[in-house]
Amino acid sequence: MKKRFSSYIDQLQDRISSALEEIDGAARFQIDNWERPGGGGGQSRILENGGVFEKGGVNVSKVYGQLPEPMKAYLKVEQGDFFACGISLVIHPNSPLVPTVHANFRYFELYDNNKEVVDQWFGGGIDLTPYYLFDEDVVHFHQQCKSVCDAHDPAFYQTFKDKCDRYFWNTHRNEARGVGGLFFDYCRASDERSIEQWFDFVTAAGDAFLDCYTPIVNKRKDLPFGPEQRNWQELRRGRYVEFNLIHDKGTLFGLKTQGRIESILMSLPPAVQWKYNVSPAPDSEEERLVRVLQKPINWIKQ
User: Catalytic residue positions?
Assistant: 102
Buried b (16+ CB within 10 A) or exposed e, 89-121: bbbbbbbbbbbbbbbbbbbbbbbeeeeeeebbb
Distance, in Å, from the CA atom of 288 to the CA atom of 154, rounded to the nearest integer, reads: 31
Q: Which helix (H) or strand (E) holds 1?
A: none
Quote the CA–CA distance of 145 and 182 in Å, as a whole number.
Answer: 7
The identity of residue 276, as a single letter, is Y
Closest by Cα among 179, 181, 214 to 289: 179
d(CA 108, CA 67): 12
Helix, coil or strand: residue 228 = helix
Give the largest CA-CA distance in the chain.
Answer: 64
The amino acid that residue 160 corresponds to is F
Separation CA 225–CA 229 (nearest Å): 6
